[in-house]
Amino acid sequence: MPVNLPTTLLRSFVAIVDSGSMLSASEQVFVTQSALSLQIKRLEELLQQSLFVREGRRLTLTPAGDMMLDYARRVLDLHDEAIAAISSGRFAGPARVGMVQDFAETLLTGLLARFAELHPDAQIYARVAGTAELQGLLERRQLDIILGFSASADPSAITTAPMSWYGDASLARRSVVPLAVLETPCRFREAAIRALDEAGRPYRITVETPNLTTLRSAVSAGLGLTCRTHLFLRDVAALDAHLLPPLPRVASILQTADTLDAPTRRLADLARETIQALD
């Protein structure tokens, strides 16, 4: 009898290779690390081949694993194509959407609630991260839709908006401007620092955080100035334009995988409509 390789095991195998670690892969395929390890052990038993060798904390493919990877991708692509064709527009899920924090606060409740009403059988995987990380996940086929920020000329732009300075105006008059910023990489942080450098304005970073809510609280408390857009700092006063150097415009972008099932395509359309309505 031929050996049957469950697609769940193949999907977990590909996820480990693409994500680079058991931890990241476990988040992608929605199982614990221990369950993921057991899945790979089972796959190796079925193939009677070792697929990985461990080098410290790093997993490297064996020659058999490298060969299996190409076959696994082809099997999964054909499997998913068949499901999409047979489902004929019904939800095949999960719909995997990634967004920057700014969009998460604005869209997670409204957008995903609307989608759930249209597709009550839907399963949604939502990832919040920086734009560069989301684009990497999209390229590795770990996300279907991403919403992020880019340069104003980006062809994926849905809308563009001017960046502005926010915070206590008295801080802008100091000899050394105090800045509140998100951790790198961050387009707004880079724009603020570049504008001050080009204008010859000394600055120091007084607050650095990975969290947008904390950043907003720090600015509201007068701990530093920051730059963002009017869409996401509505509750913080924008500074008069003459107090600090001008800032560029920023684009809100939407990018998708090459192929989407009909419901996930609808989610992308809803996301586009929602972002356009924010302006």
**3-state SS record for 87-148:** HCCCCCCCEEEEECHHHHHHHCCHHHHHHHHHCCCCCEEEEECCHHHHHHHHHCCCCCEEEE
What pLDDT was estimated at residue 93?
59
Name the CATH superfamily housing domain 164-247.
Answer: Periplasmic binding protein-like II (3.40.190.10)
Report, at the CATH architecture level, how domain 95-158+252-278 is classified: 3-Layer(aba) Sandwich (3.40)
Determine the CATH number of domain 7-87. 1.10.10.10
Asked if the domains 95-158+252-278 and 164-247 are classified in one and the same CATH topology, the answer is yes
Domains of the chain, by residue range, sit at 7-87, 95-158+252-278, 164-247
Expressed in percent and rounded to 5, the helix, strand and coil fractions of the chain are 45, 20, 30
User: For residue 108, what pLDDT is reported?
Assistant: 67
Tens of each residue's pLDDT in the chain, 279 residues: 577 888 889 988 998 898 888 888 877 777 788 888 888 999 999 999 999 988 777 788 999 999 999 999 999 888 777 766 665 555 455 788 999 988 887 676 677 777 777 777 777 888 888 899 999 999 988 899 999 999 988 888 988 988 999 999 999 999 999 999 999 889 999 999 999 999 999 999 999 998 888 998 899 899 999 998 876 666 677 888 889 999 999 999 999 998 887 788 888 888 888 887 776
- What is the pLDDT, as a whole number, of residue 33? 83
